[in-house]
Amino acid sequence: MKQQLAPERPDSERTSGQPRGTMVLKMNPTARILNGIEIAAQIKAEVAEEARTLTAGGITPGLAVVLVGHVAASEIYVRSKVKTCAELGLWSEMLTPPENVTTEELLELVAGLNARDEVDGILIQLPLPAHVDTRRLLEAVSPEKDVDGFHPINVGRLQSSASHGIQAGTVLAPCTPAGIMEIMKRSDLPVAGQHAVVLGRSEIVGKPVAMMLLNASATVTVCHSKTVEIERYTREADILVAAIGRPGFVTAEMVKPGATLIDVGINRVTDAAEVARFFPGDEARAAQFAQRGSTLVGDIHPAAFALAGAYTPVPGGVGALTIAMLMKNTVAAAKARRGATKYREVAAAKA
C-alpha cells in the first residue's frame, strides 16, 4: 500500500524553532484500552449459560472440527477450540484426515457431518493443502452449520441483515468481524453515523466487517492495496479497522485524534531492530524478545495508540474474541436448528 504522508495536518503544531514539515502530534493521555480478554470472558459466560439451558432440554450443542495433516500452528489453535468447547459445556469432535486426502474424500466427510443431527457446527481449519479445492469444500458445508460464516448463503444473509439478521439469530457471521462488533457494542462506542475506514478487503475480515459496520449505520470506506494516498482516508476515520497483515503499517500521522482504533493484525517480529523501532524504551517488550526471540505487533504502530480515543491492544484485543464468537455461533446454530422451542421453554421455567 502506498504511504505518502502530507507535510502537515490541522491537528499538528509546529514551533518557530522547527523546520516546516515537522509535526508535533497532540497526544491523548487518556486513550481507553479495549480489553478483548475481558469481553471474551463475558461472551463465554453467556455461551455457557445458553449451553446449560439447551442441555437441560436434552440438546447439547456440538462442534465438529476438520484438521487436515500436521500444521503446528493449526494444531495448537484447534486444541484451543476443543478445550474451550469442554469448558463451556459444548461437545466437540476433531477429525484428522491425512495430508494426502483428496478433495472428493473431504467432500464425502463433510456430507456425513451435514447429515448428523447432533453436529450443529462444522469448521474446516484453514489453510488446507494446496491440492485440496478449498472453495468447493467450504461451500459444501451446510449453511445452517457454517459456524465460520464463509458459505455464500451466509455471506448473502449478512448483506441483507441491516435491520434484523444477526440480532434475530438468522445469520452466522465470520467470527473475527463479529468479535469486532461485540467490542464496539459492549464498550458503548458509537457506530451509527460514524465514518468507519476498513483497511483490507479479505473475505475473512475486511469485507464482512465493512458490511457489519454498514448494517450498524456507519458510513464505510474500504481501502486496499490499490488505494492511492491511503492516509487521506485514515485521517478522516472515526473508527479505523486495520486488517492488512503488515506490521505497524498505520502510523501516528495517519490517525485522527480521538478515533477508535481496531487492530486486527497479529504479526510476529523477530528482528531486534524492528522491536526497538516499534517499542522504543519498552523494557518489558525487550525482555520478552530476549527470552522468546520474537514479539507481536499489530497492523497499527504502537505510537499511534497515544492519539486514540480507544484502541484494541495486540495481543489481548481482537484476537481474544475469535474463539469466543465461534462458541457463540455454535450455540446459535444449535438453537436455530433444533432447540429454539425447547430453549424458550426451559429458559421460561428457570425465570
CATH number of the domain within which 119 lies: 3.40.50.10860
The residues facing 197 across adjacent strands are: 221, 240
Of these residues, 120, 148, 263, 299, which one is catalytic? 148
- Residue 48 inside a domain? The answer is no
Residue 271 and residue 190 in one domain: yes
% of the chain exceeding 90 in pLDDT: 81
pLDDT tier at 159, thresholds 50, 70, 90:
confident
- Residue 345 inside a domain? The answer is no
- Is it the case that residue 305 has pLDDT exceeding 70? yes
- Residue 106 inside a domain? The answer is yes
Cell (9 digits) for 176: 473475527
**Residue 223 confidence (pLDDT):** 98
Residue 259 maps to which CATH number? 3.40.50.720
In the DSSP assignment, the letter for residue 128 is P
Known active-site residue 148: yes
Dump strand ranges (E) for the chain. Answer: 12-13, 24-25, 32-33, 62-66, 91-95, 121-124, 195-199, 219-223, 239-242, 260-263, 267-269, 295-297, 310-311
Name, in order, each residue with C-beta under 8 angstroms of 68's C-beta and a sequence gap of 6 or more: 96, 97, 98, 99, 101, 106, 125, 128, 129, 132
| Grid-cell match 522504543, residue found | 280
- Residue 218 inside a domain? The answer is yes
Q: What is the pLDDT of residues 26-72, one digit of tens each?
A: 556 689 999 999 999 999 999 999 999 999 999 999 999 999 998 88
- In 3-state terms, what secondary structure has residue 89? coil
Which residue, among 188, 191, 154, has the nearest Cα to 171 in the 3D structure?
154
Q: What is the pLDDT of residues 239-296, one digit of tens each?
A: 999 999 999 999 999 999 999 999 999 999 999 999 999 999 999 999 999 999 999 9
Residue 125 and residue 179 in one domain: no
Residue 214 and residue 75 in one domain: no
Residue 66 and residue 106 in one domain: yes
**Residue 341 confidence (pLDDT):** 62
Number of Cβ within 10 Å of residue 277's Cβ equals 16
Cα–Cα distance measured from residue 138 to residue 110, given in angstroms and rounded to the nearest whole number: 9
- Residue 231 inside a domain? The answer is yes
Q: Quick check: 154 and 178 in contact, CB under 8 A?
A: no
pTM: 0.88
- Is it the case that residue 4 has pLDDT exceeding 80? no
| Grid-cell match 462488533, residue found | 181
- Residue 77 inside a domain? The answer is yes
Q: Mean pLDDT, the chain, as a whole number?
A: 89
The domain tally of the chain equals: 2
Residue 178 and residue 279 in one domain: yes
Q: How far is CA 170 from each of CA 27, 154, 166, 173, 344, rounded to the nearest angstrom?
A: 43, 9, 6, 10, 16
Residue 209 and residue 143 in one domain: no
Q: What is the pLDDT of residues 72-94, one digit of tens each?
A: 888 999 999 999 999 999 999 99
* Sign of the dihedral through C-alpha 232, 236, 241, 247: positive
Known active-site residue 120: no
Residue 96 and residue 213 in one domain: no
Residue 144's domain spans which residues?
59-148
